[in-house]
Chains A and B, each alone.
Chain A
Amino acid sequence: MKSDATSHDMTMNGAAEAQGRHAGIPEPSRYGNNHQLALYLAALVIFVALSYAVYVTPLNLNDFLMHLFLFETRSLYRTFERAFIDHPHGPEWRPLQLLSAQIIYQYLAQGYEHLVFKGMLVVSLCVTGGLFVRLLKVESWPDVLAGVIAIFVLVGHQSFTGAVEAVYPYGVEIILVACELAVLNILLRKSSIASELVALALSVFAIFLNEKGGLVGVTYIVGSVLRLPGGTLRSAAFLFAIYVLVVLYRISWFKTVFDITERSVAHDPAGALFNTVAPILNILISDPRYVVFRAIPQAFMARPWAIIYLASSLLLSALIVAWAWSNLRQAKGTYSDELKVAAILPFLLLGSAMFGPFSQKDYIAIMALTGYAVVSFYALKWLFSHTLQAPRLATYALLLSLGVGLAFCWSVRAAGLVFHLRNASFSYQEEWVFELDRLGKAREFPASVTQPIIARLQPEALWRPLNDPNLIFPLPIVRLMQGRGCPEVCN
């Protein structure tokens, strides 16, 4: 375990500033050790396998097909106008989302929809994996294990599901996650004009792509204020100003404050408050799911998936708190970069909570998940270090049990993602057959528009003879893996 005062550390006093604020930044050579290479290799296997699982999953019908119909009937200029102008209704909250989708469709994907949209998802996934592992600095085999488990935390958390399902319209969540990880990487390296510009560009792009992307900028601003090496107050202030303008511009969409509350799913104050807190709890304890407590009651009924979800999240969150508390007590005014990254996490959780009243999906808090996964790596590294240095055998055994439990539970959760994708493939196929009108909105567009697209995409979606995985896999495996399928199967 690296001391808090080693290379990553950064003092906040004037002397350090005078010596150059980034004097403690690690040399590139320490990135090139064998352990780091091993972690990259493990990540490569995990993300390539996941990419394969993602690629062979059919394009989803719901939220995707109708947009292709839309792009066939609406000009690019009209989409641009609706995204950024559209008086008197005001611009879109997500101006780049449909606009980018239409550009991709018209100029790249037409006729090759699966290849292009799934290909984009795969590339985004691999970039995400690379950027995430780049944040995990390892120096020993226990560190590598902590890194692997942290990867499992990222992909094994139910919030990550939305990133690989690519639901609306082509999967922007994974792009937002990649942007956030890129900004975190920038914050942890030496600052330069280029890196500042890239961070600004990513932050602005992310908030225009999707409102959740606003948390990319929040990450950069908070990281800069906390004086992480890659951030500057100058660029943070600039970005803050841009974000204020964006929010003001967007807030004009609502005539009054009451419009916002009307858009909330729950109209009573208690319900709205619960919905606000729900994304935070969803990240920290994996419950509630879709604003209903599901794992806790099912854990009392001894359902394996619920026990795994609850135990893994509770233990990991408690470990993070213990690690942060321990480090804070030892910090004595000098805070490590790891602690500063951890300090961003509450902002990400609070930011995600803002979206809670408007949507209950698991992936609403996906931006907080990235921070949670990175911080979990620090906490796991700390746990493993303490395990190996435990003075007594009993302590060693206890901490080892904790490590084994976390490793097991998060491994199962990560494997559950592939099971879930298999499930999704089957249900997507069902949708392509039975739900063309309802979910694909096929009847709302002229047949001359819908039929060629359906004729092209439907056989592609159905060419694999798939069966319901719940019937194929042994029941114990199903019971272990089914935790992703909320709200359908975890009720």
Chain B
Amino acid sequence: MNRRTVIFLGVAGATPIAIILLAVALLVSAAIGRDFVWRQTEFDLGTAIANGNPLAIKLFAPGSANIDTPIPYSHPRILASKPMQLPPIAIALVHDRTDVVRQFLDAGSDPATALGNLPLETASALLAYAIERQAVLAATYLVKHRLDPHRVLTVDLRTGRTELIPLEMAIYYGDVRTVEALLDVADAPIIERGLMYAVRTEHNGALNLILDRRARQGTAGDSSSGESQDVMSRDVLASAAALAASVDNVSAIIRLVKHGVDLNAGSPFPPICRAVEGEHTRSLRVILENGGQANPPTPCVDGLSPLGLAVRLRRDLAILALRAVGAQ
């Protein structure tokens, strides 16, 4: 080929070659399931609902008989892509498409029926995904209509696979709205468990929520019955303070004190003993500054005083701190 031909082919052939390359790209992208023209990732109605496709949603017109009929759906983060049969509203719920959920509800969907028939394994997986994605409505509906709030979920966290109840999981992911929603449907044991989890994992935002709720409910009790009706026993709060001292969660100790926790009480040992045990001098100082006695009425293990415990365990920093306030 001479130079003229090369220039000719290069210049005149540029756009046709580009179009052919685009055609190749289209085919390759389609072959690997990443169609850039059609933007399809999964070929199912469930995915269309999850994406909020208005046309797919309109399929379920008001009064249609199939509104709560399960349809096939799978998701890589839910049961590891295992095929499921989910009612349309469940798909919208776990993807937090509240607008779509509203349309399904308007169209006559009944969450109690739709979610109530889900297999436990599926419902648990949906709940775990919903809490992770902070889909508040989904979490609430699933706990309300299908799952016991005590249901233990096996979840993969950054710290490894672990077992948590829904409230603990919501606290872990730190979404205030989800925690509040789950507190609404929680009983006392659940709330206590959530409190301990929040203290242990230093999720102090959730701790505040739980304590504030306790305070509000206590006030409501005052106005209705005329006497204080503590929704969470003082022993529980004292245990939480002891736990906070053992993990050196200073903020939690301060917060608990503001809610009336007696730092000299505790079962079996008061918080100061836990602080000494862990040689948490910050917690020790906070306890002493907030009404905790260096020699509390309830002794530490084996009847030892906090100072005695510190000497036995050779907690030098704690010894210094306690002697500074005149401990014996």
Contacts and interface: CB of A to CB of B under 8 A. Distances in A.
A465 interface: yes
Interface stretch (B38-46, B78-86, B175-183, B305-313): B38-46
B59 A141 contact: no
Interface in A329-380: none
A260 interface: no
Contacts of A415: 19, 22
Contacts of B37: 53, 418, 422
B4 interface: yes
B59 A142 contact: no
A465 B19 contact: no
A264 B193 CA distance: 81
Given A145-B9, A403-B8, A462-B56, A46 B23 contact: yes
Given A415-B22, A463-B45, A404 B39 contact: no
Nearest to A412: B15
Greatest chain A CB density within 10 A among B13, B22, B39, B43 is at B13
Given A53-B37, A418-B26, A463-B56, 15 more contacts: A42-B20, A45-B27, A46-B23, A142-B9, A148-B16, A400-B7, A400-B8, A411-B18, A415-B19, A422-B37, A422-B38, A425-B38, A429-B55, A462-B56, A472-B39
A411 B15 CA distance: 6
B48 interface: yes
A467 B43 CA distance: 15
A365 B18 CA distance: 29
Contacts of A241: none
Greatest chain B CB density within 10 A among A149, A404, A459, A463 is at A463
Contacts of A411: 15-16, 18-19
Contacts of B4: 388, 396
List 7 tightest A-B contacts by C-beta distance, closest first. Answer: A49-B23, A411-B15, A465-B51, A403-B12, A465-B53, A465-B48, A408-B15
B12 A404 contact: yes
Interface stretch (A187-195, A251-259, A430-438, A439-447): A430-438
Contacts of A384: 8, 12
A243 B240 CA distance: 97
A56 interface: yes
Contacts of B39: 465-467, 472
B12 A462 contact: no
Contact of A152 (B1, B14, B16, B22): B16
A435 B24 CA distance: 35
A141 B1 contact: yes
B22 A463 contact: no
Contact of A145 (B13, B19, B43): B13
A433 B23 contact: no
28 contacts: A42-B20, A45-B24, A45-B27, A48-B27, A49-B23, A50-B23, A52-B27, A53-B26, A56-B35, A56-B38, A141-B1, A142-B9, A148-B13, A148-B20, A149-B16, A396-B4, A400-B8, A403-B8, A403-B12, A407-B14, A425-B38, A430-B55, A433-B58, A459-B59, A463-B56, A464-B43, A464-B48, A466-B55
A458 interface: yes
Contacts of B283: none
B58 A434 contact: yes
B328 interface: no
B23 to A, nearest CB: 4
A472 to B, nearest CB: 7
A464 B40 contact: yes
B11 interface: yes
Contacts of B164: none
Contacts of A472: 39
A387 B8 contact: yes
Contacts of B58: 433-434
A127 interface: no
B225 interface: no
Interface in A383-414: 384, 387-388, 396, 400, 403-404, 407-408, 411-412, 414
B5 interface: yes
B43 A463 contact: yes
Interface string A449-477: 00000000011001111110000100000
Interface centre among B5, B18, B56 (most CB of A within 10 A): B56
Interface in A125-150: 141-142, 145, 148-149
A408 B16 CA distance: 7
Interface centre among B1, B15, B45, B56 (most CB of A within 10 A): B15
B26 A52 contact: yes
B190 interface: no
B20 A407 contact: no
B47 interface: yes
A403 B4 CA distance: 13
A400 B12 contact: yes
Interface residues on A, range: 35 or more
Contact of B53 (A407, A434, A462): A462
Given A384-B8, A404-B12, A52 B30 contact: yes
Given A52-B30, A142-B8, A403-B8, A152 B19 contact: yes
A459 B58 CA distance: 11
Nearest to B48: A465
A396 B48 CA distance: 54
B16 A407 contact: yes
A196 B65 CA distance: 59
Contacts of A434: 58
Nearest to A425: B38
Contacts of B56: 462-463, 465
Contact of A433 (B13, B27, B59): B59
A415 B16 CA distance: 10
Contact of B20 (A46, A396, A458): A46
A432 B12 CA distance: 43
| A149, A388, A396, A430: residue with the most chain B Cβ atoms closer than 10 Å | A388
Nearest to A421: B37
Contacts of B5: 141-142, 388
A285 to B, nearest CB: 21
B19 A432 contact: no
A407 B20 CA distance: 12
Contact of A407 (B15, B51, B55): B15
Contacts of B47: 463, 465
B59 A458 contact: yes
Nearest to B1: A141
A418 B23 CA distance: 10
Contacts of B59: 433, 458-459, 462
B13 A407 contact: yes
Nearest to B28: A49
Contacts of A46: 19-20, 23
Given A46-B23, A142-B8, A463-B43, A432 B55 contact: yes
A464 B18 CA distance: 28
Contacts of A414: 19
B266 to A, nearest CB: 57
Nearest to A430: B55
Interface in B40-73: 40, 43-45, 47-48, 51, 53, 55-56, 58-59
B40 A465 contact: yes
Contacts of B40: 56, 464-465
